[in-house]
């Protein structure tokens, strides 16, 4: 049976059109004969020249049908628009047939032709429409049934959560695919439960457990684009124990421009896993440092830097400068931004290192930069742990170079992208980021102490020509950045596991990269100089719980001692060098609120610029001599909270810079 269905469905499009044309010819002739038979009260067969009137009708009907495009429509997907075309084509044909009948009857050449009752003409119009349109509707029904029979053996049974407009559109799209077999809808609205959409029942959440067993449901499609994040997460938490593959439509904002398609379905998004509603952005704060200004982003090709560029360009700066060390990364972000429609924003891709202060000053001065977002940094904890000299050079000296060049070039605003790993750091990366914060705090304090007397010099080589506002924005893990845990888990689950978790008790703060960048831009507009802003990351999440949730929402089960027949095993790889079980966002408790409830202002200890610069000069010497032991001591001197977990001897042997 399945082989027969497959053969019928695999017939070429040309032969299918020929079959439909012959069916239409038969139906048109049958409609005329039926019209006569109904009117006369007996089975009618034409005599004499009337045979030409009856059997010649398809000769001009088929060309009309072809011109209306009736044979270009695919019967399986025929809808109201196609049926409207059928109606117009049949009506035009019927009028033409009626005219020919009148000509035949009144012509002396056809004296033997008996009169044609007017009611036959009316009946023919109705029957032709019923036959031609009904044939197509019936054909769609038959083909759909056959396909359902065929796909019931090979497709996945799915249920749509949400019987609203999005759910209805998605159900129409499911008809067009053989991959999924829609078995019904779930909805929490009691008023529509026990009703149906396109013959598919709408069930309540309480029936879901029984439905999975009875209907063998393997996937759930969330068609709830307008619900809040909290409600979506509550629904996801409800679905998680059932080990069904959950996929979701994008937000309503992404759907308003077009119809919903199967291809729009995504894996459960990062926002759903975080389960936190976003705070509406303050447009005034977003525009303050960007609108009609010259903006530069260091590390523009990185995960955070590129997202900064994407959001900045939407805020219509006069000029956006992409400063990046990696040629390929710079090419990618430059190409992406230039392919977008961003009006008159001028984009300059600049290759350069943050360790080249002379080039930085030249770029800042040439383009008269107003705002800098400093995102260039080495941030992968184990890599920096075993490459101390490069980590210190890039994260500390690079920030110092950028800051001095900004002051020298009269840049108005300088925003450093920092990290929660800078708080009581246990690794070199965190210590270097805290050191970078201290640099900006000291420079800001030094400018204040000069009382705007900009003729004095810093370190005898940089003259203050304006007051640059320095701000730091500190936040935790951003999902979607390079090295983020969720893409890693997704890749491991897709490949069949195992999923690697460093430690069963590890917890991390998480925020989406787009949300973090938006808050960074707003925070940079609030600072007066030397401010340390901390983003509200919500509650920390258990990495182990996150891994289990993602496995279950992929329609799989966690393999463990209690469930040896599960699909994906979770293994613990152990803490990597310098990693902490728990991250923190604040060093002290001196915190105040800001205009945005998601942004806090922290007051933290700092070092005088003279002391800090002395340490920087010693670091330069240690770097040149590759004295890693000295580098560590200097880091601890500047950042007393630094409690390294990696033995310096291990680094001496493993450091890529040690020979």
Q: Read off the pLDDT of each residue in 355-376 and give the average, rounded to a whole number.
A: 94
Percent with pLDDT over 90 in the chain: 22
Evaluate whether 362 touches 406 at the Cβ level (below 8 Å): no
Query: Tokens standing for 381?
Result: 């904890």
Evaluate whether 97 touches 31 at the Cβ level (below 8 Å): no
Smallest CA-to-CA distance from 122 within 86, 79, 91, 87 is with 91
- Give the confidence band of 328 by pLDDT, cuts at 50, 70, 90: very high
Would you say the CATH fold of 283-479+510-537+583-651 matches that of 156-274? yes
Q: Read off the pLDDT of each residue in 339-355 and give the average, rounded to a whole number.
A: 88
Residue 416: per-residue pLDDT: 94
Q: Which residues pair with 321 in a beta bridge?
A: 296, 348
Domain boundaries, the chain: 2-150, 156-274, 283-479+510-537+583-651
Q: Which residues pair with 570 in a beta bridge?
A: 499
Q: Which residues are catalytic?
A: 421
> What residue has token string 């593959």?
245
The CATH H-level (homologous superfamily) assignment of domain 156-274 is NAD(P)-binding Rossmann-like Domain (3.40.50.720)
Query: Tokens standing for 49?
Result: 């020249």
Rounded to two decimals, the pTM is 0.62
CATH topology of domain 283-479+510-537+583-651: Rossmann fold (3.40.50)
> What residue has token string 């999975």?
212
End-to-end, the C-alpha distance of the chain in Å comes to: 72
Residue 633: per-residue pLDDT: 92
> Which of the pair, 163 or 199, is modelled with greater confidence?
163
Percent with pLDDT over 70 in the chain: 76
The region of weakest confidence among 23-27, 317-321, 437-441 is 23-27
- Give the confidence band of 76 by pLDDT, cuts at 50, 70, 90: low
With a CB cutoff of 8 Å and minimum separation 6, the contacts of 280 are none
The region of weakest confidence among 139-153, 175-189, 261-275 is 261-275
């Amino acid at each position: 049976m399945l082989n027969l269905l497959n053969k019928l469905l695999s017939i070429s499009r040309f032969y299918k059109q020929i079959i439909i044309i012959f069916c239409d010819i038969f139906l048109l002739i049958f409609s005329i004969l039926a019209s006569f038979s109904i009117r006369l009260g007996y089975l009618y067969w034409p005599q004499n020249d009337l045979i030409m009137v009856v059997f010649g009708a398809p000769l001009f009907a088929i060309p009309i049908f072809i011109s209306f495009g009736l044979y270009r429509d695919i019967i399986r997907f025929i809808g109201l628009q196609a049926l409207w075309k059928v109606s117009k084509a049949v009506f035009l044909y019927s009028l033409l047939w009626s005219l020919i009948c009148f000509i035949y009857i009144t012509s002396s050449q056809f004296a033997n032709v008996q009169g044609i009752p007017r009611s036959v003409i009316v009946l023919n119009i109705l029957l032709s429409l019923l036959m031609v349109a009904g044939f197509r509707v019936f054909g769609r029904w038959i083909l759909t049934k056959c396909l359902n029979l065929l796909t019931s053996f090979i497709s996945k049974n799915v249920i749509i959560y949400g019987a609203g407009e999005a759910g209805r559109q998605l159900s129409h799209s499911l008809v067009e695919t053989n991959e999924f077999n829609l078995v019904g809808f779930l909805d929490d609205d009691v008023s529509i439960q026990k009703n149906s959409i396109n013959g598919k029942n709408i069930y309540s959440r309480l029936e879901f457990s029984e439905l999975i067993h009875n209907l063998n449901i393997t996937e759930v499609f969330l068609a709830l684009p307008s619900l809040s994040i909290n409600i979506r997460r509550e629904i996801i938490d409800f679905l998680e124990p059932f080990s069904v593959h959950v996929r979701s439509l994008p937000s309503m904002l992404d759907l308003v421009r077009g119809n919903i398609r199967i291809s729009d379905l995504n894996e459960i998004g990062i926002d759903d896993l975080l389960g936190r509603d976003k705070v509406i952005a303050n447009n005034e704060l977003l525009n303050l440092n960007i609108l009609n200004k010259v903006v530069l982003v260091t590390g523009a090709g990185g995960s955070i830097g590129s997202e900064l560029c994407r959001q900045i360009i939407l805020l219509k700066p006069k000029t956006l400068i992409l400063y990046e060390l990696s040629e390929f990364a710079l090419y990618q972000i430059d190409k992406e931004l230039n392919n977008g429609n961003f009006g008159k924003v001028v984009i300059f891709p600049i290759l350069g290192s943050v360790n080249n202060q002379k080039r930085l000053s030249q770029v800042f001065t040439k383009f008269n930069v107003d705002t800098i977002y400093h995102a260039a940094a080495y941030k992968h904890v184990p890599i920096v742990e075993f490459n101390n000299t490069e980590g210190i050079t890039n994260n500390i000296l690079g920030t110092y170079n950028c800051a001095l060049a900004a002051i020298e070039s009269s840049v108005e605003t300088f925003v450093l992208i920092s990290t929660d790993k800078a708080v009581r750091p246990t690794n070199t990366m965190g210590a270097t980021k805290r050191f970078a914060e201290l640099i900006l705090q000291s420079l800001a304090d030094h400018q204040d102490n000069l009382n705007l007397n900009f003729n004095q010099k810093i370190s005898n080589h940089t003259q203050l020509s304006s007051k640059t506002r320095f701000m730091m924005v500190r936040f935790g893990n951003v999902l979607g950045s390079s090295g983020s845990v969720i893409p890693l888990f997704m890749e491991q689950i897709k490949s069949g596991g195992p999923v690697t978790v460093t430690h069963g008790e590890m917890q991390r703060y998480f925020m989406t990269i787009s949300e973090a960048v938006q808050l960074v831009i707003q925070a940079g507009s609030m600072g007066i100089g030397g401010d340390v802003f901390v983003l509200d990351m919500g509650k920390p999440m258990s990495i182990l719980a996150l891994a289990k949730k993602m496995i279950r929402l992929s329609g799989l089960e966690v393999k463990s001692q209690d469930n040896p027949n599960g699909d994906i095993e979770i293994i613990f790889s152990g803490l990597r060098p310098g990693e902490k079980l728990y991250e923190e966002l604040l060093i002290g408790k001196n915190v105040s609120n800001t205009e945005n409830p998601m942004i806090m202002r922290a007051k933290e200890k700092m070092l005088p610029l003279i002391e800090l610069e002395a340490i920087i000069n010693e670091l330069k010497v240690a770097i040149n001599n590759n004295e890693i032991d000295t580098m560590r001591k200097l880091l601890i001197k500047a950042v007393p909270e630094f409690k390294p977990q990696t033995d310096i001897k291990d680094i001496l042997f493993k450091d890529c810079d040690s020979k």
